A and B are shown apart, each in its own frame.
Chain A
Amino acid sequence: MAKYVAKRLLLTLVMIIIISFAIFVALNNTGVDPISFKLGLDNYTPEAAAELREKLGLNAPLVVRYLRWWKDMLSGNFGYSIAHGYSIRSGLIAKWPATLEISLTAMIVSTVIGIGIGMLSAIWQNSIVDYLGRMIAAIGNSVPEYFFALILIQLFSVRLQLLPTSGRVPAGAVTFWDRLPNLILPVAALAIPMCGNLMRYTRNTMLDVANQEYVKLARSKGIPEWKVYIKHVFRNSMRPVVTVLLFRMTLLLGGSVAVETIFSWPGVGQVLTQAITASDYSVVMLYTLMMAVLMLTISFLVDLFAALLDPRVRLDK
């Protein structure tokens, strides 16, 4: 087990280095010259550009600049937005808590509801719970987050006037209950599609496992049905479900870009949309790198879970 984890961890680190290098090279070759942005049209002269280039260290070889980039990042300096001049540390990194607040809440909510209803759907196959669950799953799977966001605003904010349309109450002096109304709609918009996906996946995997011979053997031991489902069916369905769940996390963060814009939620999604429209490549680069690191971390977690749940993975030489 320890050897397996160490191997995966090493692999993840190597992947991060390769991907970060690829991102660095790719964005360096986009043809967007940061210097012209920095100087602006009015001040641009070739001499001034060359001087600034030298000052910013842009004449150094690519590899040297790449290593410098990492060195700065590791010491907490993430650079500056080229278009707007803000430090990425305060402008992007500091926005993560707001994004994680809605996406993690959405993940927890959709995991509990999605897996829960998926399980019941499988146990009571072809019952009313199953039909309703499958209907919700079909809708959740086919309608994107931003569409739900618009419908939810229309219904709960405009028509019923129950919940605020947008904004975030920052953490601090206020209680959780003061902050909750602003959270509900964005979380719901993110959670519904994910919920649908997990429901369908949990149901289908469990039905698949329930038809296995070892489940029949478990029943032939005379153990009660709930034990059959928890110990034998659910446990063996967990591995694929956890894989889907964790990989949905990155989609959730991607989805939050649109949802944050709709709800004026001050998270990284908003920063990213601004950065893309302004060709603000240092911000885009860092966002891309963060997403890549997150994806690799999740991959690592998936492997870790697989090993914990399945001895065939754990004991593989």
Chain B
Amino acid sequence: MSDEIILDVKNLSTVITTDRVPVRIVKDVSFQLRRGRTLAIVGESGCGKSVTMQSVVKLVSRNYHITADHVLYRSFRSGAPKEYRLDKLAPYGRVMRSLRGPEISMVFQDPMMSLNPVYKIGDQVIEGLLQHNPGMKKREAWARALEMLKKLGIPAAEQRINEYPHQMSGGMKQRIVIAIAMICDPQIIIADEPTTALDVTIQSQIMELMKQLQTEDRKSIILITHNMGLVAEMADDVAVMYMGRVVEAGPIQAIFENPLHPYTQGLLKSVPVLGMARDKPLIAIPGSTPNPADLTEGCEFAGRCPYCEAACLRGVIPSFEAEPGHQVRCLRSAHGEVN
């Protein structure tokens, strides 16, 4: 493991049991997050990208069963790096909780639902700060929160900090959620579709803000999204997920310029481009996502894949290294057939 890798996930699987039926939602997912970089986890709704990240930090319900070879978090906070095996920690135990906030924090999808309606903005921002800094005075925490709100470009922060969530707009609320995530100065921010619920102009402001925080403080970001435009703008590395599996992963140029998996290719072709020829139809991936409970064997994408052959329907498709750092889980790459 290189020095610069802050989070290393190896063969993470999550099984969710609903009504006594276990379903594998995340299957042998591996990825690495580099320090100061952004990793985008891309895929359509229901592909398991959120569950993957919630499994990494263990913010899951009791009916989730998580296994992994390892989930290694390396803290660079003070002097020599300190390593934590997240997969070995109790989900709500003391050590795991001490990491949530000061080391790894999260920004959730829907700012409308992410804030507790009965507490003041300021109280919600300082809650984590007070938790992780025993002995800190409330006044001091409040001053830090105010400073953070100002840094995030919230107008009239002195007044806003005393308001309640229902008094704010969606964009403002998402800034508050980011302030909550940032207040303990974490090393990794996991942003789960942070702009999906916002309109486009606010989207770009929020992403701009996150980018700025990253370059200033050398933070690592995991961006969960289905928005390819956002990926192109933000990411250094990309992992494409389909039905619980990482089907293709690599540096951004490799994924965008030389997509190898038929699913990635379909995903990139289906992005509408402004100024696209009017008579050219928008390409869509045929079919729809299967029910995860129905998938037992073979490539998850086989049913929708134009290149599907007999071998694709058997066993587990292994991952191949098509070029250094560029992995793809497709038999065509094994044959050396490229596009």
Contact = CB atoms under 8 A, between A and B. Distances in A.
A312 B127 contact: no
A219 B127 contact: no
Interface in A190-238: 212-214, 216-225, 232, 235-236
B265 to A, nearest CB: 34
A48 B118 CA distance: 67
B114 A219 contact: no
Interface stretch (B14-22, B92-100, B273-281): B92-100
Interface string B142-184: 0000000000000000000000101100000000010011000
A222 B99 contact: yes
B116 A222 contact: no
A160 to B, nearest CB: 42
Interface in B68-111: 92, 97-102, 105-106, 108-110
Nearest to A228: B92
A220 B59 contact: yes
B57 interface: yes
Contacts of B211: none
Contacts of A223: 97, 127-128, 131
Given A220-B106, A221-B180, A223-B97, A310 B128 contact: no
Interface secondary structure of A, over-half rule: helix
A207 to B, nearest CB: 11
A303 to B, nearest CB: 16
B105 A214 contact: no
B117 A216 contact: no
A311 B164 contact: yes
Interface residues of B, number: 30
A106 B242 CA distance: 57
Contacts of B295: none
Contacts of B177: 217
Nearest to B117: A312
A232 B116 contact: yes
Contact of B113 (A213, A309, A311): A213
A157 B114 CA distance: 55
B35 interface: no
Contact of B127 (A218, A235, A309, A315): A218
B132 interface: yes
A217 B100 contact: no
Contact of A217 (B115, B164, B166): B115
Given A220-B57, A220-B59, A222-B132, A214 B114 contact: yes
Given A213-B114, A311-B118, A222 B108 contact: no
Given A212-B113, A223-B97, A312-B164, A217 B180 contact: yes
Contact of B59 (A216, A225, A309): A216
A220 B164 contact: no
Nearest to A316: B166
A46 to B, nearest CB: 68
A220 B97 CA distance: 8
A217 B59 CA distance: 9
A219 B114 CA distance: 11
Interface residues on A, range: 20 to 34
A224 B101 CA distance: 12
B99 A315 contact: no
Contacts of B114: 213-214, 217
A222 B128 contact: yes
Contacts of B110: 213
Interface in A75-134: none
Contacts of B167: 315
B57 A222 contact: no
Interface in B305-320: none
Contacts of A224: 92, 97
A158 B246 CA distance: 71
Contacts of A221: 100-101, 105, 127-128, 131, 180
A70 to B, nearest CB: 41
Contacts of A219: 59, 92, 100
Contacts of B166: 311-312, 315
Contacts of A217: 106, 108, 114-116, 177, 180
A309 B116 CA distance: 12
A217 B115 CA distance: 8
A309 B102 CA distance: 31
Contact of B92 (A225, A236, A312): A225
A214 B101 contact: no
A216 B113 CA distance: 10
A40 B127 CA distance: 75
Q: Which of B99, B116, B164 gathers most chain A CB within 10 Å? A: B116
Given A225-B92, A312-B164, A315-B164, A220 B116 contact: no
B100, B118, B128, most chain A CB atoms within 10 A: B118
Contacts of B181: 220
A235 B117 CA distance: 10
A101 B98 CA distance: 50
Interface string B252-275: 000000000000000000000000
Q: Which of A217, A224, A311 has the most CB of B within 10 A?
A: A217
5 contacts: A214-B117, A216-B108, A222-B132, A236-B116, A315-B166
Interface of A: 212-214, 216-225, 232, 235-236, 309-312, 315
List the 3 closest pairs (A to B, CB-CB), nearest first: A222-B100, A221-B128, A213-B113
Interface of B: 57, 59, 92, 97-102, 105-106, 108-110, 113-118, 127-128, 131-132, 164, 166-167, 177, 180-181
